[in-house]
Structure 1
Amino acid sequence: MSDKVEIKPYTGPAGGWGSVKSLAKIGLREQSGPEVLKELTRQNKPDGFMCVSCAWGKPAHHHPAEFCENGAKATAWELARFRVTPIFFQKHTVRELTAWRDHDLEQAGRLTQPMRYDASSDRYVAVSWEEAFVDIGAKLKGYDPAKVVFYTSGRASLETSYMWQLLARMYGSHNLPDSSNMCHETTSVGLKACIGSAVGTIHLEDYDHCDAIFYFGQNPATNSPRFLHNLRSCAKRGVQIVVFNPLRERGLERFTDPQNPIEMATGGETRIATQYHQVKAGGDIAAMLGIIKHVVRLDDESGGAVLDHAFIAQHTNGFGAVADKARETDWDEIERESGLTQGALEAAGAVYARSKAVICVYGMGLTQHRHGITNIQMLVNLMLLRGNVGKPGAGFGPVRGHSNVQGQRTVGITEKPELMPLDRLARQFDFEPPRELGWDTVATCEAVVSREAKAFLGLGGNFARAAPDTDTIEAAWQDLDLVVNIATKLNRTHLWPGETTYLLPCLGRIELDRQATGAQLVTMEDSFSRIYPSRGRATPAAETLLSEPAIVAGIAKATLPPNPHVDWDGWVGDYGLVRDAIEATFPDLFARFNERLDIPGGFWKGVPAAHREWRTDSGRAEFNVPEVMNATGFDEVEGRFRLVTLRSNDQFNTTVYGYDDRFRGIKGTRHVAMMNRRDMAALGVRDGEMVSLVGDYRGEGGDNADKRIAGLRVVAYDIPRGCIAGYYPELNPLIPIAHHALESHVLAAKSIPVRVEKAA
């Protein structure tokens, strides 16, 4: 890969020929053969496999090509021809590999054989599956289960996730953090408290019936490109799309549909946003209060003709206090905290006031803040004003990241005992599960740093790289007594071995998984709470690979005493038996699980708030008065900036496919600091100059004052004053572990306090 850095504005739309060229480039680099092209025709189809990238819905009536640029990259990445065999580790020590870039580690290829770290040679060496399971089981038997972590990334299937949580609980651990803790746990906590349901309330089809979309802190072109087709359809039929986002993201501005021959031939494109408001990072609370202030004023002036007073009276609590807060807050404060003008917010409010069915879309731009819960509460306040929950074309549409991160929580991946039917599980398998609160991601990081954690078992993911305060986590990681990584490819977490460390390579979702009863399928849940089957057919990367369920069962059998109620071997031989067990544990959500697998568009597990059933303490949806006006959790002082970490369009989470962030015009590097030109002038720094970002957090539980990242190239960018943007995970060392959302503990990665230092 060329290291030539090229930074220039991108003038094209999202999609179009740029997407086609990007796919061709990665196809050549991964030496993709006919099998990749064949599998792409099956991607997100009823008889195919569910994309291993994002969790966007799979329509009942699909397109011929039901994949996006990033989804196709993920498929090519998983089916790449390169292999990491034992010979690879004979050539490279682990210390040598720590100097490799994230991209280069995964580009090395698929892991093919179970391996154990050998400290004397600083290499991973091959072991047999039986040897690995026996040793892992023996070591687990020697620990206090409360000190052992069972982490889950967002890709593992419902079947594997259910087996994983059962293994953890039967072992005696309730430490079940997952990638939701790093992104959308704020949704789960915030929505649950306000409307009694912890997930989005809309169906994919609601985009066909809305007349307005209010869009906060999510970038579809990078994070969920298939969503662009729905946004394009909405824009074509005149839906008002009102966007609030610090950066101007091309996918929210213009889109050329690669599946539309006329647009591709003529260079045609569709304008997406009808209003685009560049809110300051953390300023969404004030922005939403401004919209509410305007809508309440319109209602007051019209004698009550704007708000849905019948809905408010029948279904909600606390409206009066929120309305009074909006009336009393002056526009100067709202403008100062949001970074937006009164006129801009009144224009957005006017759209909301006249729209009959509004969908509210949001992402980590709302959830990853110190006061992320208040962001969600304000979102609910706004939507309740006109009854925009539980009717066609209206509701909450949080956009999830990993393809099954929501589903894993559904089947028991949770550290919170109140979210799991433990009594039913205890009767079903005749054991006593732990009842105390377990460790989430933040608590796991704290336990690793304090050396309280003794063992970490990871079902996928790249935990140490995705975690906050990365340098501290990596140093402490090596003091873990046991680390088990179930993975398809090498990543940076694997390079910080504990006392005993294993790499256990698994089949990918796209590959044929043949067990005792034949080819198996697994299931996923999307962002719309729909469950789908996924059938792998591609040739496995190696005959030595085991499936994720087989690996979980192997660890379980080596660790746990026999239990006549759990037939681990039977479950591996027939995943349908696992689905029967899931149904028995969650009968309301998974009734007739195996019978409903092939319903076009998936089957809906049900969301009570979607039909106005409010499972809150009051039995009503709750308005909440905001106690703060910005979500950052720190004061705005001279010289302090709000750092926003984000993905490029050439990555998915910690997987970096390449170094070309096409939509932002940044190629060949990820070490950048995107800044407002006026801020640059005030600091005396030039476009292209190298600077350091230095931590400026002084909070309860710690600070990041000693953290610095040097060698960042300044890029003049259209971003609000006082804000800086840069790439995740490279800038994660600047996030203190203590800088997280209150209540939900989600990393506050969208508003990190930093200062800028010029190079000496």
Structure 2
Amino acid sequence: MSKRLAKPKQYKRASGGWGSLEGMSKIELSAKAPPGAMATLAQMNKPGGYMCTSCAWTRPEDPHAFEFCENGAKATFWDLTTARCTPEFFTQHTVSELRGWGDYALEKEGRLTEPLKYNPVTDKYERTSWEQAFNEIGAGLRKLDPKSVTFYASGKAALEPSYLYAVFARAYGHNNLPDSSNMCHETTSVGLKKVIGSPVGTCQLEDLEHCDAIFYMGQNPGTNSPRILKNLQSAAQRGCKIIVFNPLREKGLIEFVDPQSPVQMTVGTPTKIDHMYCQVRPGGDIAALMGVCKRVVELDELAQSKGEARVLDPDFIAQHTHGFEAFLDKLRSTDWDAIEHESGLTRAEMEAAGDVYAQSKAVIGIYGMGLTQHVHGSQGIGMLVNLLLLNGNIGRLGAGCSPIRGHSNVQGQRTVGITEKVALAPVEKYREVLGLETPQQDGHTTVEFLEGVIDGSNKGYVGLGGNLAKAVPDHERVHAKWADMELTVHIATKLNTTHCIPGKTSWVLPCLVRAETDEQESGNQWVSIEDSFSHIFGSRSDRKTASPYLKSETAIICGIAKATLDGSNPKLKWDEWTADYDRIRHLIAQTYPDEFHDMTARMNQAGGFFRGNSARDRVWKTDSGKAEFTDPSVLNACGIGDAEGRYHLATLRSNDQFNTTVYGHDDRLRGLKGSRMIVMMRPEDMAAERLREGDIVSLVTDVSRDGEPERRVSGLKVVPYQLPARTLGGYFPELNALVPLWYHDKLSKTPASKGVPVRIVRD
């Protein structure tokens, strides 16, 4: 084998720019979008228009001419495809055959057009009527113990159907309401609430206009939330220093060309985004932040010794925080050698980041799942908050903590009652407003639902969107038992893998997309969503529906609920709520009067309305009544440490992907194309393993419990990439099979998919 190291793959252009426009055009053609799709985009994220179904970035009060990004355009083209997956398609293919197609091929068949029921004799989905579907689903649910049934929600459903979905579940008799937050950002809801009393971020859009520094951790905006790039560009141009902590060097955090700037698109140069780029190893954020905090405290002590202005804010710490002395003791007792080893960074890098913090008056911490999807992800959030608290960087202009959400309304679903925790549900208001006595036993998280699927205790599943069977960890164990459920119901727009693992009785119920007209008895309906800044916006479209047989998510939920429940509660007015969504918003306002009063009127204001955030007001709803400094018990968030032959795998999304929806097989911003069955590997590690670019290997999970089968994914092509030592990268959801179901964050049970211990086996 040659001693010359393989050359890492890379994308030579900036993020955004012509590459973004080319990417949009490619998917527009591939999706067979109609001519009017571009006109639909012109109304996206604007008053009177519809809110993007991709990420949860906000809608500004004064929108640009084009208030959408590459991801939003792809999602819209994909939704508005002219391809149709009719009942006739299913006469030609068994479900067993379709299960082997893969999600890209399944979704390419286009929009589902009519309700379908699975026939186990023919192994095919067959046309059914809505009346038959509702009646038989209702009868099936009545036969099951409600506590053995799960109502799962993906993050796209708007506030109105989400509110009713939670009401239906509790009227039926359970709190089994996990959603896609359990799979991605639940660690924020649990971990952030523990330390500042708020389960969501404290920042507003205006803070990005006044910050001096941004500590940006574990999130790839170029692929996952491109609309934030304009804000990062503006911040960098005015001198804000952006310090990046991420295992991969992502183009969106390095340089950006604004596609809406004719000058920059033609004769201009890309805007440099990062001031520093720290390639932290998987799970190493705790140690990295420990090093930064250690430097900040050292600089404060030095300033005190010289009689200079302090770096820390002692008044804020004394008045607003708890646990500072214990955290200080931890900093002093943790040596630099351990911090460097666990972070994968040098002391000089962390000290330089600390210098930036110390020199900044207003700092924002932005993070994604690279920080949270670890066994000790909650402690990673705690460490980021520790850093912000040192100088009072929560609760003032230009400062705060800002998690970047994925799905467009995943945060909003939790806000209006989709939660498995009784303590977070509006139990008293349900009783007052709806005359509803709710179950007092906590429901289960997604992980607990999957455990119930495996052990047979979960008998029924209703899925409000999503492709959960593909998104979950431990594919082999889960999929082997999924079809044993008595009843599976899927509310969906396109066919996917989850639909191809039907229960003993199974239905696929086709629904509208957000960009289509939702015509009900009272006219074309408005829905509402919540962005990641806790603003509520109205959304409506006049795009013609893909099929006259489609129903809205609200109508489907109400139809199933009416057919399932005994009708003894006159306050559950399913027909009236279907006819006029204003009545649902009235219920939401009654249930959450402080946040949602006058909801219908306020949601269509230029900037929507802000439902408030106690931590932003420095009101700390924690056990101590103050913001909590935390004392981390580990320096690396991965639950399994180093060992001979062990690597840590971070699962990733490609540029042509949104969650489990794959638009194509290229990953432009990483310079990769042609296949998703790859493993990215550091050239030095390739040489040590005597591997060449293009070699085919398997990854095997390097930890297991007694009696568990081996977890293996084979047929992966080795690709050289710039990564930290002993770190691998590969695609979600193809590599989810390597993540044990029990390998999750300690507090939230979110799967720990960003640092999976694996070993390499030659195929």
TM range (shorter): over 0.9
Give distance in 2, aligned partners of 1:166 and 1:467: 26
**What's 2:102 paired with?**
101
Give distance in 1, aligned partners of 2:268 and 2:507: 51
Shift of 1:619: 1.0
- Asked whether the 8 Å contact 1:156–1:459 carries over to 2, the reply is yes
Give distance in 2, aligned partners of 1:591 and 1:233: 34
Give distance in 2, aligned partners of 1:572 and 1:41: 29
**What's 1:374 paired with?**
379
* Residues 626 and 7 of structure 1: CA distance in aligned 2, closer, same or farther (over 3 Å): closer
* AA partner of residue 671 (structure 2): G
Describe how 1:12-91 pairs up with structure 2 within 5 A.
12-91=13-92
Q: Deviations over 1:131-183 (max 9, x none)?
A: 00000000111111110000000000000000000000000011000000011
Shifted more, 539-548 versus 416-425: the winner is 416-425
**What's 2:536 paired with?**
531
Give distance in 2, aligned partners of 1:737 and 1:101: 22
**What's 2:549 paired with?**
544
> Is 1:643 aligned with 2:642?
no
Shift of 1:682: 1.2
Describe how 1:288-687 pairs up with structure 2 within 5 A.
288-303=289-304, 305-562=310-567, 563-687=569-693
* AA partner of residue 655 (structure 1): T
Give distance in 1, aligned partners of 2:236 and 2:384: 22
Shift of 1:457: 0.2
Q: Deviations over 1:487-546 (max 9, x none)?
A: 000010000011000000001111001111111010000000000000021100000001
Shift of 1:710: 0.8
Shift of 1:119: 1.2
Shift of 1:91: 1.4
* AA partner of residue 606 (structure 1): G
Q: Deviations over 1:443-501 (max 9, x none)?
A: 00100011100000000011100011012211111100000000000010000011000
Q: SS in structure 1 opposite 2:252?
A: helix
Give distance in 2, aligned partners of 1:418 and 1:8: 49
Give distance in 1, aligned partners of 2:600 and 2:256: 39
* AA partner of residue 681 (structure 2): M
> Is 1:226 aligned with 2:227?
yes
Give the unaligned 5+ runs of structure 2. Answer: 1-6
Q: SS in structure 1 opposite 2:489?
A: strand
Shift of 1:595: 2.0
Q: SS in structure 2 opposite 1:141?
A: helix
Shift of 1:436: 0.8
Shift of 1:267: 5.3
Q: SS in structure 1 opposite 2:757?
A: strand
Q: Deviations over 1:215-241 (max 9, x none)?
A: 000000000000000001011101000
Give distance in 2, aligned partners of 1:352 and 1:101: 46
Shift of 1:7: 9.7
Q: Deviations over 1:556-590 (max 9, x none)?
A: 11001212112111111110000000111111111
> Is 1:152 aligned with 2:177?
no
> Is 1:178 aligned with 2:179?
yes
**What's 1:735 paired with?**
739
Shift of 1:601: 1.4
Q: SS in structure 2 opposite 1:698?
A: coil
Shift of 1:33: 2.4
- Asked whether the 8 Å contact 2:116–2:507 carries over to 1, the reply is yes
Give distance in 2, aligned partners of 1:302 and 1:168: 58
**What's 2:4 paired with?**
none
* AA partner of residue 420 (structure 1): A
* AA partner of residue 80 (structure 1): T
Give distance in 2, aligned partners of 1:707 and 1:420: 37
Shift of 1:8: 4.9
- Asked whether the 8 Å contact 1:685–1:758 carries over to 2, the reply is no
Shift of 1:30: 2.1
Q: SS in structure 1 opposite 2:291?
A: helix
- Asked whether the 8 Å contact 1:7–1:665 carries over to 2, the reply is no
What is the TM-score of this pair, normalised by structure 1? 0.98
**What's 1:3 paired with?**
none
Q: SS in structure 2 opposite 1:302?
A: helix
Give distance in 2, aligned partners of 1:589 and 1:191: 20
- Asked whether the 8 Å contact 1:697–1:703 carries over to 2, the reply is no
**What's 1:130 paired with?**
131
Residue from 725, 729, 746 that aligns with 1:725: 729
Shift of 1:102: 1.5
* AA partner of residue 202 (structure 2): T
Shift of 1:705: 6.1
Give distance in 1, aligned partners of 2:148 and 2:267: 61
Shift of 1:743: 1.1
**What's 1:696 paired with?**
702
**What's 2:757 paired with?**
753
Give distance in 1, aligned partners of 2:46 and 2:15: 24
Shift of 1:24: 1.2
* Residues 573 and 670 of structure 1: CA distance in aligned 2, closer, same or farther (over 3 Å): same
Shift of 1:329: 1.1
Shifted more, 395-404 versus 88-97: the winner is 88-97
Shift of 1:703: 8.2
Q: Deviations over 1:18-66 (max 9, x none)?
A: 1111111111222222210110100111111000100001101111011
Give distance in 1, aligned partners of 2:741 and 2:162: 26
Shift of 1:438: 0.4
Give the unaligned 5+ runs of structure 1. Answer: 1-5
* AA partner of residue 465 (structure 2): G
Q: SS in structure 1 opposite 2:462?
A: strand
Give distance in 2, aligned partners of 1:697 and 1:271: 41
Give distance in 2, aligned partners of 1:364 and 1:704: 27
Give distance in 2, aligned partners of 1:598 and 1:160: 18
Q: Deviations over 1:235-263 (max 9, x none)?
A: 11010000000000000001111110011
Shift of 1:302: 1.2
* Residues 725 and 705 of structure 1: CA distance in aligned 2, closer, same or farther (over 3 Å): farther
Give distance in 1, aligned partners of 2:713 and 2:157: 33
> Is 1:710 aligned with 2:711?
no
Give distance in 1, aligned partners of 2:102 and 2:441: 40
Shift of 1:684: 1.1
* AA partner of residue 681 (structure 1): A
Identity %: 54
* AA partner of residue 64 (structure 2): H
* AA partner of residue 265 (structure 2): M
Give distance in 1, aligned partners of 2:444 and 2:100: 31
Q: SS in structure 2 opposite 1:361?
A: strand
* AA partner of residue 749 (structure 1): S
- Asked whether the 8 Å contact 1:703–1:736 carries over to 2, the reply is no
Give distance in 2, aligned partners of 1:31 and 1:495: 24
